[in-house]
Structure 1
């Protein structure tokens, strides 16, 4: 059977482990970085490196990078018009490429705080400050030349992101009784693998751990575990949202590696 080609746009905190996982799944993997100095690292991991910058315009061999079956897009979103225009150019390039499927990484920050659980990925109240991100999703979602599945990740932890380091001792944290929405790196990878293996295209998923402890409880425990003094938490409850992962569990039959945020704190080391 011919190997599938998987292109990862942005080999950073999430993109690099994703690329490595698909190398291990016997894909031919292309990975982009903005600096040529990272090429050696990618090569050592079995990833074909490309230097590609998407800012006011696209720089790099984007045409060859897009000679692929599946494109994984994970880039920090910026509101500036040149950034948006550059990605409109990218969409046109994808239309002319061999790409048939796109996995687009977005954020649960597109949802407004409705003081309730959010289960519906289609009918919801947009966070007005994130409307541009929602429109950015639709650049890909609404294109008929390729199939796009969107994953809206909650706050990302794992790898180099130890939640015990999120708040310093002298920090005062508001709304500390609000439930938190986080997801571990290993589950991010597992969900992407499940979507591609099961060919779940043209779908939007919310991705968060199953449990939602309060901000005060979780970050106090995480900080103390590192032997540090926790921040000052103002124990009040204002606006919040709870991100449900039920669609992932039922539609993908995905079993979370770290469903319980408090129980999984033991994996983090100083």
Structure 2
């Protein structure tokens, strides 16, 4: 994301939790500073981060309940800091897990019904952003992420008795996420809840069996049930941003090397 914005002529400052991590980003020619959301910096130490036109929050939560509770409080503290600043736009990367077990077509306007702890904490953060930042806030819910070494088939290969094989796949490629976030920044979108997912939704059984075969992995074995799943429709967001997705189908998305 930072490299793409830099190539487009934007001035970017990144953050990493450790000085070692920050140095790894500086080696790419991008200014970066150590910043840990659980350890608020002393007064004045992070003024450069909040003296920007846009703040992009893309931080994954932990998996344990205590970590999620702390994550919520930490993100709230960042939002409160933004509220007191002159930042014009804050983009929070959320997840389609806020829709829980809804079925059928799901859009930006569909009310959230989270059922997992992660879905609930993202829903709460979304609500806090809308309450505290109003038009300055943008929420971008991403479907399952593919890109680089990341691909869900790696965690499904060889498994048996996987239920819900007929549920539709909801995936989006990292490159399309980067393009969408760039468009949100450059078009100065504000006060929106947005959604990103490829428009093609093959069944889990069909797609992951194909992907495993292509990668020469042991095929996952699915139970052919669950055809009442949800499919994420991000058409409104794609049209608003005037995007042409690079990978409109999961079958188009490059598979990672099998190592």
Q: TM-score, normalised by structure 2?
A: 0.88
- Show CA shifts across 1:37-77 (max 9, x none): 1233211222111111113x424733332221110001123
Is 1:89 the counterpart of 2:46 in the alignment?
A: no
Q: Provide the C-alpha distance between the structure 1 equivalents of 2:256 and 2:72, rounded to a whole number of angstroms.
A: 37
Q: How many residues align?
A: 250
| Unpaired segments ≥5 residues, structure 1 | 1-17
> Who is 1:48 aligned against?
31
Q: Is the contact made by 1:149 and 1:202 (CA closer than 8 Å) also made in structure 2?
A: yes
Quick one: structure 1 residues 159 and 266, their matched pair in 2 at CA, closer, same or farther if it must change by over 3 Å? Answer: closer
Q: What's the CA shift for 1:238?
A: 5.6
Relative to its length, the structure with more strand (as a share) is 1
Match in the other structure for 2:120: 131
Please say if 1:232 is aligned against 2:190. no
Segment drifting more, 203-212 vs 231-240: 231-240
Following superposition, the deviation at residue 114 of structure 1 comes to 2.6
- Tell whether 2:243 aligns with 1:241: no
Aligned-residue Cα RMSD (Å) equals 2.0
Query: In 2, are the aligned partners of 1:36 and 1:51 still within 8 Å (CA)?
Result: yes
Map residues 10-159 of structure 1 onto 2, 5 A cutoff.
Answer: 18-55=1-38, 57-59=39-41, 61-77=45-61, 80=66, 81-119=69-107, 121-129=108-116, 130-144=119-133, 147-159=136-148
Q: Would the aligned equivalents of 1:77 and 1:133 in 2 still touch at CA under 8 Å?
A: no
Identify if the C-alpha distance between structure 1 residues 122 and 188 changes in structure 2 by more than 3 Å, giving closer, same or farther.
same
Name the CA distance, whole Å, in 2 between partners of 1:125 and 1:94: 25
Report the Cα distance in structure 2 between the residues aligned to 1:59 and 1:215, rounded to whole angstroms.
Answer: 44
Task: Report if aligned partners of 1:222, 1:265 keep a CA contact under 8 Å in 2.
Answer: no
Question: Is contact 2:114-2:123 (8 Å) kept?
Answer: no
Could you tell which deviates more after superposition, 59-68 or 21-30? 59-68
Moved over 6 A (4+): none
Structure-1-length-normalised TM-score: 0.85
Within 2, Cα distance between the matches of 1:266 and 1:104?
Answer: 26
Describe the shift of the 1:29–1:171 C-alpha distance in structure 2 as closer, same or farther (beyond 3 A). Answer: farther
Q: Name the SS of the counterpart of 1:32 in structure 2.
A: strand
Separation (CA, whole Å) in 1 of partners of 2:176 and 2:71: 29
